[in-house]
Structures are given as structure tokens and as C-alpha cells.
Amino acid sequence: MSTTVRPPLPPVRRVAEPVECKLEMRWISEHRKEYPGEWVALDGDRLIAHGKRGAEVFAAARARLAVPFLFRCPDDELPTAGGY
């Protein structure tokens, strides 16, 4: 049986000030319907990478940015809630 060894995740970076994501959130509200069920990586209001596999999108974004903003676009626009 073969095993796959993945590289370690980068250390968690803590910031002294809250990070504002206004540009990213605006991009998501305007473009999320264009990428149903996909992960998107953003730098402000700029799309860096997208795809169905989050790990691949993360790797592509990390090649360009130290701390990319990742978001998974919903498959549909129905509201979701936990519970029954």
C-alpha cells in the first residue's frame, strides 16, 4: 500500500489588527454564481485561481501569495442551515 506525503501546512499567522475583506466579499457577492461548487482564491477583488479541488486552488494561490483568501462558492442559491 502506498502512502502520499503532503508538505506541512504553513504556520498560522496572527495579526494584531483585524483584517478587512471588503473587496473580497464584494467580489464574491458579484461573481459567485459564475463558479458554482468551485473554490476561488482572491487577492482583493482579483481572482487568482479557481477549481473544484480546494487543495489545488490553495497550492496555486500560495505560489502567488503568502496568505490567499479562499472561498467555496455554493452549488445553488438555496439558503442552508444546520439541523433537521
Q: In angstroms, what CA-CA distances link 54 with 16, 25, 66? A: 28, 18, 16
* pTM, two decimal places: 0.70
Which alpha helices (H) appear in the chain, and where do they start and end?
Answer: 22-31, 54-62
Per-residue pLDDT tens over the stretch 64-81: 988 889 999 988 766 666
Q: Is the confidence at residue 14, as pLDDT, over 80?
A: no
Q: Helices then strands (H, E): number in the chain?
A: 2, 3
Cell of 21: 475583506
Confidence (pLDDT) at 83: 58
Q: Is the confidence at residue 23, as pLDDT, over 90?
A: yes
Query: Of the given ranges (4-8, 27-31, 77-81), which has the lowest mean pLDDT?
Result: 77-81
Residue 84 banded pLDDT, cuts 50, 70, 90: low
Confidence (pLDDT) at 60: 95
Q: Is the confidence at residue 82, as pLDDT, over 70?
A: no
